[in-house]
Each structure stands twice: as C-alpha cells, then as structure tokens.
Amino acid sequence: MTREERKVITASSLGTVFEWYDFYLFGSLAAVIGANFFNPLDANGQPMFNEATRNIFALLAFAAGFLVRPFGALVFGRLGDLVGRKYTFLVTILIMGASTFVVGILPTSADIGIAAAVILIILRMLQGLALGGEYGGAATYVAEHAPHGRRGFYTSFIQITATAGLFLSLLVILFTQLAVGPDNFRAWGWRIPFLVSIVLLGISVWIRMQMEESPAFKKMKAEGTHSKAPISEAFGQWKNAKIAIFALLGLVAGQAVVWYTGQFYALFFLGNVLKVDPFTTNMLIAWSLLLGSGGFVFFGWLSDRIGRKPIILGGCLLAALTYFPLFKLMSAEANPALHKAHSEISVQVVTDKSTCSFQFNPTGTARFTQPCDIAKAALARASVNYSVVDRPGATAAVVIQNGTPIPADSRTFAADLGRALTAAGYPSAQNTSVVKMATPVDIFREQPAVLIGILTVLVIYVTMVYGPIAAALVELFPTRIRYTSMSLPYHIGNGWFGGLLPATSFAMIAQTGDVYFGLWYPICIALATVVIGLFFVPETKDRDIFAADGPETPQARPASASV
C-alpha cells in the first residue's frame, strides 16, 4: 500500500467514523431521548405516554433517519456522479455534524411540548439524508483508488467505520456517565456527547479538504464519458435497474438485518428485554465490537481471494440458523431468573381480541386505553412471556399460573400485577441474578465473559456480511453512474430493512407476547437473501471497474488511472 493510498483510506475512514458517531448517538441514547422528547404532559401535568410507548416512539424516531436515507442516496449520488466524489461527501458531513450539534441544544418536551419531538425528527431526517450520500461516496472513492485484486481489502476499512462510530459513541457516553453521574446524565449530561460532535465536525471538514478527487472520476471527466442524467440512466434503463434490484434483494437486505441484529437489536434486547443496566449493556457491546471488528478487514481480504458472494451469503445463512439459540443463551446468562420465569410460568391475557390494538404508533398521536392494550403494555414492560386467549365479550384480565384473574381496568391493576408476577416467580426490581459490571474491565467472571463471547459471535456475523459489501456493490456498476447506482440499494436495504428492525421486532414481541418472536424478522430476510443472491447475483471480484460504461471481466488497470 502506497503512502497516497494510505492517506486516501485514512481520510475517508476517519471522516466517516465521525459521521457514524453522530448518527448512532441517537440509537445509543434512545431511552433517554424518549423520556426527554416524547414525554409531553397532559392538562393535569401527567405524562401522556407510558414507558413502552415512549420507547416505541424513540425507536421510530431513530428509524426516521433510516427511512430518508434512500432519498439522500438519490440526491447526493446524483451530485457525486455529476460534480465529483470529494465535494459531495464534504457537504454530507457538514449537514450531519450541524444536525447533531443542534440536538444537543434542543429544548425538551417539558419546555416546548410536542414541538420538541417534531424538531427532533426533522433533525433525524437531515442526518438520514446526509448519511444517504456519505457511504456511497466513501466506498466509491476508496475503491476507485484501490489496485486491481485488492478492492475488498481496501474498502473493508470503510466498513469498519460504522462499527467504530458506534464504539466511539458508546465510549463517549460511558465516560460522560462516569464523569457527571447517572442522575446528572439523565437530567442534562446526555447533551454532552451531542455537543462534542462540533469538534469532530471541524476535524472531519479539515481532513476532507485535503483530499484529491478520485482518479477514475477525473479520467472519466477528461474523456467526456460522464453521465448527464445519472438517476434516469441508473434506474430508468432495465439493464442497470435490474442489477440494482438484485443487489438489494440478493446482497444488501440480508446484510442489513444481520448487521442491525448483531449491534442494535442486541443492544436493545439486553437493555429493554433482559433489564440489564445501561452501563453494563454498553460495556458488553463495546467489548464485543473491540474483539470482533478485525473481522471486517479479514473478510474483506478473504473476499479478494475466494469471492464476495460466498462470504456475504455464508454470513446470512449462519446468522439465520443460530439466532434463536444464541439469543436464548444470552437470556439465560444475562438474567437467569427472568429466563427461568419465561420457560416455567404461564401468563395469559384473557380478552376479546377484537378490542386489542397493534401498539405501533408512528405518528405519536394515538393513546392505547382499552383494557387489553393496558394489560399487554404492562406485561411487555415487565418482559413477561404471555399468550392471548380470545374470549368474545370478555373484559381483559391477566391470569398467572391459573390463578385469580387480575382485571386490567382495575385502578390497582399495576400494583396487583406486580405482586402476582413476583409471587409466581418473576424477578423483582432487586433481582440479583442479572449481570452487572462494576468497572469497564470487570469481564473475568462467567456472566460477562460468556455474554461478550455471544455478542462477539454476532459481531463476527456482521463482519462477514459487511466486510466485502462495499467492493461487491462498487464492482456491479459502471463509473459514470456508480455513486448513484450503489447508494440507492445500499440505503434502501440498510435504511428500511435494517433501520426498521428494532421498532418492528419490538412491536412483534408486544403483539405476540414472545420475547424471541422479533428474531423471525431478520431470519426470514436473511434466508431470502441467500436464495436470491445464490441464483441472481454474479461474482464480481475479478472485474475491472475503470470502464466508464460498465465493469469488465477481467482486465489490467489502465495506467492513466493509477494513483
């Protein structure tokens, strides 16, 4: 690797790390943000939404940033193919950094009511637009500097940036919590990680100002072969559009759900379902990222030898086959008392199913007040496995171990339910079996060690599907429309299939009463990707990507395109 190539990779990767840091702060602080921005008070000064509903809102606001990513891919992908890679992703980082900083100074719902939530979601959408243009630019820029036969290895450093950004966000949050204390962190200290982003923004802009334009783009511009209408050429012509569709369904969709399950859903499952405290949850995830992230480079390097498809599809298949046993083992280790209760204690909601709602409210305007909804929300908050028994005409009641029904419309329902669950064997708030780390290095005991091992396996799956994906997408499309063509399927896959995973899985759990039911979402998508990718996606590792009208197989790299 030459000095110039190292500079390209370092500059692209470091700037992208900071951008992912900005984006992931929201996900890492979803519970705190839900309490501060999705907690308006009614006329009596009481919170309008319960904790479960606030968590759904926070997850949906997190997902809002992902929903708009494909639109950012179109806007900035077009600019990247028209005016160049360098200046386009300089603009994206300015938008991302500024939006994140504003979150740090935004008044909460206690100060300005529902307007706080509206402004926050707008800022999340701006972040999503910026991120939609960032990844395609960075991946294309590095790939177009890479020597033939080493694109998987070179672009794998870009793949590390998302995990590194998450890892950095977790570290900043943890150190801030330690510095200001848990109470101050919940009150005002959560703003500090957002405000720190202004420093990272300055560093990122300075780094990207030092970068030169991609040699492939400069060659194409000099020859006059660049596209005048990248979007219509990429998606209006079937020969190009079908490649984007196969790339989405046969590579990216499975990669996205494996990636978000291994990092974000694991974080959510530990904290919200298994009731592990935030410090321990973040430290367990941080250690697994530290141990497993080398897989990005390893699998990127390996894909230059054996191909992109075997590694990506193999990772999807392994994940789909092992998610259930891994998450059940995680439950047994993280909270043994809760895991035992799940398997041994029968809990039913006896109700008229026609009165139950699907408690998924993206607008934040609905209130779930039917007895059935109250009962299911209370059980979901307590991480109770339950089933719903349909009894037409019945008013909802919770029955535990064939005991006395507890009416959900009773004024003392919450207290009665808590006492009944504890008496039946569900752990109380003073549960001593749940894993708890005293310090960041408190990892040499069975519980944290086993959990870090499980989470590291999940991260290895992430590195398998994500390490080679940038090279695979770059190689599928011609230089003249590469930025646009690869960005859209990548961000539909990661923005929609992946970004909606936490909220969708949570709603599936609440609907069925099974804490593991949400895993069916990533499993089904990963298996579909294996089938589609196997039959419809070509292997690309030997393609020459410097042909303006399309990748060719295989050729020597043009001398005029060297770094």
Residue 132: which of 489, 467, 503 has the closest Cα?
Answer: 489
* Per-residue confidence (pLDDT) for residue 562, from 0 to 100: 32
Tokens at 232, concatenated? 């219509």
CATH superfamily, domain 3-334+437-561, is MFS general substrate transporter like domains (1.20.1250.20)
pLDDT of residue 306: 94
Q: For residues 154-165, b (16+ Cβ closer than 10 Å) or e, as one string?
A: bbbbbbbbbbbb
More confident residue, 84 or 142: 142
The span from the CA of 524 to the CA of 269, in Å, is 19
pLDDT of residue 459: 94
Where b means 16+ CB within 10 Å and e means fewer, 416-442 reads bbeebbeebebbeeeeeebbebeeeee
Gap between the Cα atoms of 398 and 383, Å rounded: 14
Mean pLDDT of 506-520: 84
Task: Work out the mean pLDDT of the chain and round it to a whole number.
Answer: 82
Encode pLDDT of 341-397 as tens digits.
Answer: 998 999 988 888 888 776 554 434 446 678 888 888 788 778 889 988 888 888 888
Q: Which two tokens stand for residue 264?
A: 């974000």
pLDDT digits (tens, 9 = 90+) for 457-501: 999 999 999 999 989 998 888 877 887 888 888 888 887 788 778
Mean pLDDT is highest, among 224-238, 379-393, 541-555, for: 379-393
DSSP at 391: -
Whether the pLDDT of residue 273 is over 90: the answer is no
Give me 483's structure tokens.
């930025």
What mean pLDDT is predicted for residues 39-66? Answer: 63
> Which position has the higher pLDDT, 549 or 178?
178
pLDDT in tens, 206-220: 877 777 776 666 777
pLDDT band (50, 70, 90) for residue 561: very low
pLDDT band at 5 (very low <50, low <70, confident <90, very high): confident
Q: Note the pLDDT of residue 304.
A: 93
**At a CB cut-off of 8 Å and minimum separation 6, what does 500 contact?**
63, 66, 67
pLDDT score, position 234: 73
- pLDDT value at position 58? 64
When pLDDT is averaged across residues 277-305 and rounded to a whole number, the result is 91
Consecutive H or E run containing 348: strand 347-351
Pick the CATH number of 340-424 from 3.40.30, 3.40.190, 2.120.10, 3.30.930: 3.40.30
Lowest mean pLDDT among 79-88, 286-295, 542-551: 542-551
* 555 — pLDDT class (breaks 50, 70, 90): very low
Mean pLDDT of 395-404: 82
Domain ranges, ordered by start, for the chain: 3-334+437-561, 340-424
Helix (H) or strand (E) holding 204: helix 191-209
Burial of 71 (0-12, 13-18, 19+ CB in 10 A): middle
| pLDDT confidence bin for 558, thresholds 50/70/90 | very low
- Describe the strand order of the beta sheet including 387-390 as a list of residue ranges: 387-390, 347-351, 397-400, 406-407
pLDDT above 70 for 506: yes
Q: What is the pLDDT of residue 329?
A: 96
Helix %, strand %, coil % for the chain, to 5? 70, 5, 25
More confident of the two residues 231 and 254: 254
Kindly report, residue by residue over 140-180, the tens digit of the pLDDT: 888 888 888 888 998 888 888 877 887 888 888 888 988 99
Residue 400 DSSP label: E
Q: How confident is the model at residue 556 (pLDDT cuts 50, 70, 90)?
A: very low
Window from 30-34, 443-447, 550-554 with minimum mean pLDDT = 550-554
Residue 62: predicted pLDDT = 64
C-beta of residue 204 within 8 angstroms of C-beta of residue 97: yes
The token duo for 401 is 């171990």
Q: Taking the chain, what is the end-to-end CA distance rounded to the nearest angstrom? A: 11
503 or 359: which leads in pLDDT: 503
Q: What are the pLDDT digits (tens) for 116-129?
A: 888 888 888 888 88
Assess whether the region 3-334+437-561 and the region 340-424 belong to the same CATH fold: no
Predicted confidence band at 295 (pLDDT cuts at 50, 70, 90)? very high
- pLDDT value at residue 42: 60
Rounded distance between C-alpha atoms, residue 458 and residue 381, angstroms: 25
Q: Residue 52: which pLDDT band, with cuts at 50, 70 and 90?
A: low
Q: Which tokens belong to 454? A: 């499980």
What pLDDT score was predicted for residue 44? Answer: 62
Q: What is residue 553's predicted lDDT score, i.e. its pLDDT?
A: 44
The pLDDT value recorded for residue 203 is 83
pLDDT at 434: 92
Model confidence pTM above 0.75: yes
Taking residues 421-445, report their average pLDDT.
89
Residue 545's pLDDT is: 73
The reported pLDDT for the residue numbered 161 is 81
Strands 387-390 and 347-351: parallel
Using 50, 70 and 90 to split pLDDT, how confident is the model at 534?
A: very high
Q: Where does residue 239 rank: exposed (0-12), middle (13-18), buried (19+ CB within 10 A)?
A: exposed
